[in-house]
Structure 1
Amino acid sequence: MKVNVNEVKPGYIIEYRDKLWTLVKGEHVKPGKGPAYLQAELRCLTDGTKLNQRFNTSETVEQVHLELAEYQFLYEDGPQLHFMNNETYEQIALPRDLIGRQAVFLKEGATVTVSSYEERPLSVRIPETAVFEVVEADPVIKGQTATASYKPAILDNGVRIMVPPHIEAGTKVVVNTTDSSYVERAKG
């Protein structure tokens, strides 16, 4: 769908130079001389490259709408991650680097959102938080609980995070999957 450059906002996905780009930042500029323009910072959805592009405000661009589908994570097979569509039960294998470093937080049965364009998966969004068990944590040092210090701990998926002093091995914790940070002790 063609849209005027003035209507494009951060997060919009456009087709430009035969690639799909998401608008990271856009600044409308009206110089004293010459026509107004949009100074846009674009990121390619397929290879992650960045592009700074100036669009004249009279230009139109092709806005793209991605198909979103819920998939269930099944298993990992080397560099491939296998998922099943929750509606059609169709299985797909995606490269691990499509998710990036967040792939370590995928648990069997986790529901993810796969964004596709013309039936080609472009990105996978995993849940923002997940529950893991602490398998190893440093012991509490007397008096350490009075301060707001954190100590290192290793989760059952092998990831090392910082946790409050009261967390011990065997405790289940909620972890933020975007920055690998401790959120809270898991309830229940």
Structure 2
Amino acid sequence: MSEPIRMRTARAVIRLLDVEEAELLRRYRVENREHLAPWEPLRSDSHYTLAGCQQAIEAGLEAARADRGYPFAVLTPDASEMIASFTLANVVRGVFQACHLGYGIGRRHEGQGLMYEALDAAIRYAFGPLDFHRVMANYMPRNDRSGRLLERLGFEKEGYAKRYLKIDGVWEDHVLTAKIRTQA
């Protein structure tokens, strides 16, 4: 990761956060704590503190440097507010060339097509500069909105995993999907 990763869409700037921007992340997490809780693991109180956000950003920057994961922030064009986040995580290179995609959007920004816009850019980046062959994304069957978003982005269902991830304290089933790069 020699130069900063930056993507632009019609309504957003997408990039890794700098440690000095931890307040942006903290505000997003605090404002969306209840909204995102049903779709995320249980979070400790430190997850919502400035120090916790600084640690998360530092860990994310190190993961990107090591090509293990890329935690992106989706920001307003002036970078004054965090709209959403997504991570290209669990990077595996070699013969697999794949990652998992996880994402969430702030309550105030739902239903405007912003997550589609951001993830469309993310997938192009994943198949372009990051040179992935496969991007996998999984969702809980009750999350119809996420299922429709992934389908619209071209992800195909590949399976069903019972009690796959512990979300909000409960082992949840997940629909497994993936998108494969079309060219070699």
TM band (smaller chain): under 0.3
TM-score, normalised to structure 2, is 0.26
Say which structure, 1 or 2, has more relative contact order (CA 8 Å, 6+ apart): 2
TM-score, normalised to structure 1, is 0.26
Richer in helix (by share): 2
Richer in strand (by share): 1
